[in-house]
Amino acid sequence: AQSVTQLGSHVSVSEGALVLLRCNYSSSVPPYLFWYVQYPNQGLQLLLKYTSAATLVKGINDFEAEFKKSETSFHLTKPSAHMSDAAEYLCAVRVNSGNTPLVFGKGTRLSVIA
């Protein structure tokens, strides 16, 4: 069975600083990996996804993530935080098939300090 661990339920960064949100996964078969962002009282918006092509994945709003199989990690980064990046970030895994559900981590709340 797949699982996702997000280290740190809350991360705080200064505006303009590097954003690093950690995600480790467990999967017995090649996975699809996703990062979603959720603003208060809203649904989830896809930031980026890994689908076994390039290991460095670029997403929207200058976010990117690198798939590292040896470390079973898919950490999310952004070079310079903006105030508008404050939100909940969720990492999810799905096995390499269309017929299984997404498994989410517990999420990391990102705060950006002016």
Partner 1 sequence: KAGVTQTPRYLIKTRGQQVTLSCSPISGHRSVSWYQQTPGQGLQFLFEYFSETQRNKGNFPGRFSGRQFSNSRSEMNVSTLELGDSALYLCASSPTQGTTGEQFFGPGTRLTVL
Chain contacts with partner 1 (rule: CB under 8 A): 32, 34, 36, 41-46, 49, 51, 90, 94, 96-107
> For residues 104 and 94, is the Cβ–Cβ distance under 8 A?
no
Cα(26)–Cα(43) distance, rounded to whole angstroms? 25
CB of 2 to partner 1, least distance (A): 11
Cα distances from 28 to residues 2, 69, 85, in angstroms, run 7, 12, 33
CB of 71 to partner 1, least distance (A): 21
CB of 39 to partner 1, least distance (A): 10
Q: Closer to partner 1 by CB, 72 or 100: give it.
A: 100
CB of 52 to partner 1, least distance (A): 9
Cα(96)–Cα(41) distance, rounded to whole angstroms? 30
Of 41, 39, 43, 75, the closest CA to residue 59 belongs to 75
